[in-house]
Structure 1
Amino acid sequence: MIPPTPPGPWVHLDSSPIPETGATLHLLRQGDAYSIQVGSNELMTNLDRRSEQALASIACARLRDRPRARILIGGLGMGFTLRAALAALGPEARVVVAELVPAVVAWARGPLAHLFGDSLDDPRVEIVVGDVNRLIQSGPERFDAILLDVDNGPSGMTRRENDRLYDRWGLRRAHYALTRGGILGIWSGKPDRRFKARLRLHGFAVDEVRVRANGGADGPRHVLWFGIRPEAGIGM
C-alpha cells in the first residue's frame, strides 16, 4: 500500500494587525487546511468546525417560531457560524456579522472564498466591519440571538477589550439587547464554571453543550453556552 503524500509545510498567505492590540493575525495554508493564527496560537482552522456550526444551528433551532428573527454574530472567522445560521433560518430572517479586522472580510472573498460559498452575497446578510460590542449597545431588544465566537471565548487571547463582552457589564448589555426569550450563544475553547455562574447571576437560564470540534471521537471538545433571556420579568 502506497502511503499518502504528506501535505507539505505551512504556507503563509497574509497577515493583518488586530486593531488596538499590537498583535497580528496570520492566514496560513497547508494543502486543503487553512489556519488563522495569532503568533503561534491557532484561533481557528477549517478542519475543526463542528462547534462553530453548532453554535448557530442549536441557537437558530430554538427560534423556529420567529420567522423574522434578527441574529447578531460576533466574529466572521471562516464563515462556519454564518453558513449554519443561514441554513437554519427562513427567508425573512436577518443576520448581522460584526468583524473587527477588515482583512478577515477580504480573506472571505479571497483565499477563503470556497469556504464561504455565496453566504456573503445572501440578501439576509449584512457585514459590519467594527466592534461587535458597539452593535450590542445600539439599542434595547434589537436581536433575537447574539452569537459570540470572539477571541477564544471568555479566556481571551488577543484583545483585552474583548473581556468587556464577557464581564458583568457585557452580560448586562447583551441581556438588554436581546428580545424576551432571546438567546445569547457563546463559543469557548474550554470550560469555565465561573463564567457559567456569571451568566446565571445576570438573568440568563443557561444550557451548556460540549461539541467535538471535528465531529470525531478524539478531537478537541469545545464548550457552547446558551443563555436564554426570560420571557417575563427583567431577570436581572
Structure 2
Amino acid sequence: MTQLPVRDAAPAPVTLDRREGPYGEVALRRRGEHLEIIANGCFLMDTADGRSERLLVQAALDLLPSSSRPSVLIGGLGVGFSLAYAAAEPRWGAIAVAERESAVIDWHRTGPLAEFSAGALDDPRVRVLHTDLVAHLAGPGPSYDALCLDIDNGPDWTVDDANDGLYGPGGLAAAHRRLNPGGVLAVWSAQPSTAFEQALRAASFTEVHTVEIEVARGVPDAVHLARRA
C-alpha cells in the first residue's frame, strides 16, 4: 500500500491582544506568519494579501489629475496596507485615515502591525483620526479629492450593522458632499456588487465602474469607483 504524505495542518491562531471597546471586542491574532484582526468573534482582515487594499488607493489616484497634489481620506486603518501604500506615493499632498478602534491604532503605533504600516503614521502628511468613519463623513469637516473606504466586508455583507449606513443613500450622500468637484470615491468590497453600482448612480455619482481582483479561492475582491461630477 502506498503511504500518502502527511499534510501540515493549518496553524492554530495565537491571540496577541484582546480588548473591549464601545463597539464590542476586537482582537489581534497571529496565525503562522500572518496577523488577523477579529471583531466580535468574526474575521475581519489579515496580512496575507494586500493587493486589493493597495489597488483601492492606486485606482483613485489614477483618476485624479497627474499635476495635482490631492488629499485623500482612508477609512479605516485596518492592517495598514492602504495607508502604507498612500504614504509611499509622493503625489498625495495630505493623507487622513479614520479608525474608530483605539486598539488598532495602538497596534500600529507600538505593536505588531507597525511593520505593515511601515512608519506611515510618522509621515508629516498623515493625520490619524480616531473616529467612526460613518459619523465623520456625516458631520462637518473638510472636503477631499479622494475617499478610499475599506471598512467591514463591503456593501453586501457587513459584520457590524452600524456600517450598513455607509453604503445606503444617506452614507453615499455624505460621501458625495465631502468630495471636491471631480473627486473620486473608491470602495473596497469582498465581492462585486451590481446593486451598489446602481446605488452610486442613484446618489449622483458618475463614471461608476468596478475593478475585480482575483483571489486564491472564492469570488474576487472588488474596488468600486465613482466620481463626483
Is contact 1:25-1:38 (8 Å) kept? Answer: yes
Shift of residue 194, structure 1, vs aligned partner: 1.5
1:87 aligns with 2:81: no
Shift of residue 195, structure 1, vs aligned partner: 1.5
Which runs of structure 2 are paired with 1:113-128 in the superposition (5 Å)? Answer: 113-128=114-129
Is contact 1:141-1:179 (8 Å) kept? Answer: no
- Structure 2 residue matching 1:197: 3-state secondary structure: helix
* Counterpart among 17, 20, 25 of residue 14 in structure 1: 17
1:223 aligns with 2:222: yes
What residue ranges of structure 2 are gaps of 5+ in the alignment? none
1:74 aligns with 2:75: yes
- For residues 4 and 158 of structure 1, what CA distance do their matches in structure 2 show? 32
- For residues 113 and 141 of structure 2, what CA distance do their matches in structure 1 show? 35
Shift of residue 148, structure 1, vs aligned partner: 0.9
Shift of residue 5, structure 1, vs aligned partner: 7.4
Shift of residue 66, structure 1, vs aligned partner: 5.2
**Alpha-carbon deviations, 1:31-62, whole Å to 9, x = none?**
31111123453211111211111101111122
| TM-score under structure 2 length normalisation | 0.87
- For residues 99 and 141 of structure 2, what CA distance do their matches in structure 1 show? 21
State the match for 1:169 in structure 2: 170
Shift of residue 196, structure 1, vs aligned partner: 1.2
- Structure 2 residue matching 1:25: 3-state secondary structure: strand
2:14 partner amino acid: V
Which runs of structure 2 are paired with 1:29-178 in the superposition (5 Å)? Answer: 29-65=30-66, 67-90=68-91, 93-109=93-109, 110-139=111-140, 142-178=143-179
State the match for 1:233 in structure 2: none
RMSD: 2.3
Q: How many percent of aligned residue pairs carry the same amino acid?
A: 35
Is contact 2:197-2:209 (8 Å) kept? Answer: no
Going from structure 1 to structure 2, the CA distance change for 1:7 and 1:160 (only over 3 Å counts) comes to closer
- Structure 2 residue matching 1:88: 3-state secondary structure: coil
- For residues 45 and 220 of structure 1, what CA distance do their matches in structure 2 show? 17
| TM-score under structure 1 length normalisation | 0.85
Shift of residue 155, structure 1, vs aligned partner: 3.0
- For residues 80 and 145 of structure 1, what CA distance do their matches in structure 2 show? 17
1:204 partner amino acid: F
Shift of residue 119, structure 1, vs aligned partner: 0.7
